[in-house]
Amino acid sequence: MLGQGFVSAAAIAASVLFILSLGGLSNQEKAKRAVWYGIVGMAVAVFFTAFGPGIGAYWLMIPMILIGSAIGWVVAKRVAMTEMPQLVAALHSFVGLAAVFVAWSADLERMRVAAAKAAGASMEGFSAFAALVATKAPDELTFLQIEVVFAIFIGAVTFTGSVVAFGKLAGKVDGKPRQLPGGHKLNAGAAALSLLLAILYLNGAGFWTLLVLAALSFFIGWHLIMGIGGADMPVVVSMLNSYSGWAAAAIGFTLSNDLLIVTGALVGSSGAILSYIMCKAMNRNFVSVILGGFGGSKGPAAEIEGEQVAIDAAGVASSLNNADSVIIVPGYGMAVAQAQNAVSELVRKLRAAGKEVRFAIHPVAGRLPGHMNVLLAEARVPYDIVMEMDEINDDFPSTDVAIVIGSNDIVNPAAQEDPNSPIAGMPVLEVWKSRVVFVCKRGQGTGYSGIENPLFFKENTRMLYGDARESIDSLLSHID
């Protein structure tokens, strides 16, 4: 058993490591080291918490840690990079559900202590948390109950919301926005009832209020995320990440665990900031997105004229061989086809021929922030040719060839040209301003978000249909 001094010191050390980890993840070159900071920080946190004062039942805890670690290892090894967004959503759901269970347990312990005190019974044999509760003054117990309410509400919303987000990202749930009759009024009504139940609970109504509160919160999380379309799922995943952090922080206050408070606050605040940045990059209203797309559609989208003109790999290679400058725009289609290594080889051959090749990365490319950056880093693409949208967008007019690999919304000119488009006003990569654009795409569908793209019908656009990896492999054989 470790003393409280060791545990407090470990909490400070783990908190510093978590901060270093978050800071390092903002830079591709430092990201790998930053991940290790997070791993070590979590290992320190788990070890010193598990063996701190007042902790017992190791016969149950240690097997659970080992089993959970083994499951996590197997899942992480099996999950492909394309499935990482839904894995993140699934992990958020675990945090939310854990917060609900801990909050329920905390209130049951509070009631058990109150009953023991009323009966004049000894506190011997009670848990360390119960002993802590027994020392609290009435006003402190009220704050404990408030923390329990917050943990249950946020945790339950996070759980069911994350389950729905997982389903939509994995294709197991329809990506279109769907709500029950009444729409946002149902969410508002459930939220109002939740507030009423919280007031009743704080005035001594009993444990049943927490059970009903959790049920209502489960409904809100489910209905809220069901009402958000697939195009907004990257923001939703980021926001649910924030919710899971605040749920953890609330439980940290309940358990008087400083490390859980710090960690939850870091996750909660960083997730909220990232969600805001992503909404700005998509010209989405932050509050509108997190409330289930409140506001509705703007009107019928503009009709698209023309036709999609196909081209083969030999035709694309001919243009590339004659080009001096090339910009590649990767999207989720590249991830699905696992074409990043073939793309990396294409870049190597083009650069060896003396051509300027760069990547243009939109802030919400893929289904998770940084999705494309990770794939390109995995394929050993040099960091210095991977450019953010603001750095490279002005260069398209002077570019000979733009290659779009599995992207749709982030290169859609309707964002600028059609005020009724669902993505109107969204900053996009202006690939159509290049001399010629080649779009690598499976077929003529509208993609995950279901939004038609006028880029595919422009006179300077040619469509290279087929699996992205197979198309790029075929293209490689024609490059000089």
Residues annotated as catalytic are 409
Other Cβ atoms closer than 10 A to 114:
13
Q: In this structure, are residues 350 and 326 in contact, taking their beta carbons and an 8 Å threshold?
A: yes
Q: In this structure, are residues 257 and 49 in contact, taking their beta carbons and an 8 Å threshold?
A: yes
Alpha carbon separation from 449 to 169, 177, 453 (Å, rounded): 11, 10, 11
The phi, psi pair for 196, rounded to 5°, reads: -60, -45
What b/e string do you get for 199-222 counting C-beta neighbours within 10 Å, with b at 16 or more? eebeeeeeeebbebbbebbbbbbb
Q: In this structure, are residues 403 and 329 in contact, taking their beta carbons and an 8 Å threshold?
A: yes
Nearest to 327 by CA among 400, 271, 391: 400
Q: Which residue(s) pair with 463 in the sheet?
A: 310, 439
Helices and strands (DSSP H and E) totals, the chain: 18, 6
| Triad 52, 57, 62: Cα angle to 5° | 80
Burial class (CB in 10 A: 0-12, 13-18, 19+), 4: exposed
| Helix (H), strand (E), coil (C) string for 254-290 | HHCCHHHHHHHHHHHHHHHHHHHHHHHHCCCCHHHHH
Largest alpha-carbon pair distance within the chain?
90
Alpha carbon separation from 90 to 42, 75, 85, 161, 167 (Å, rounded): 19, 11, 9, 10, 9
Nearest to 338 by CA among 374, 382, 385, 386: 374
The rounded distance, in Å, linking the Cα atoms of 379 and 347 is 11
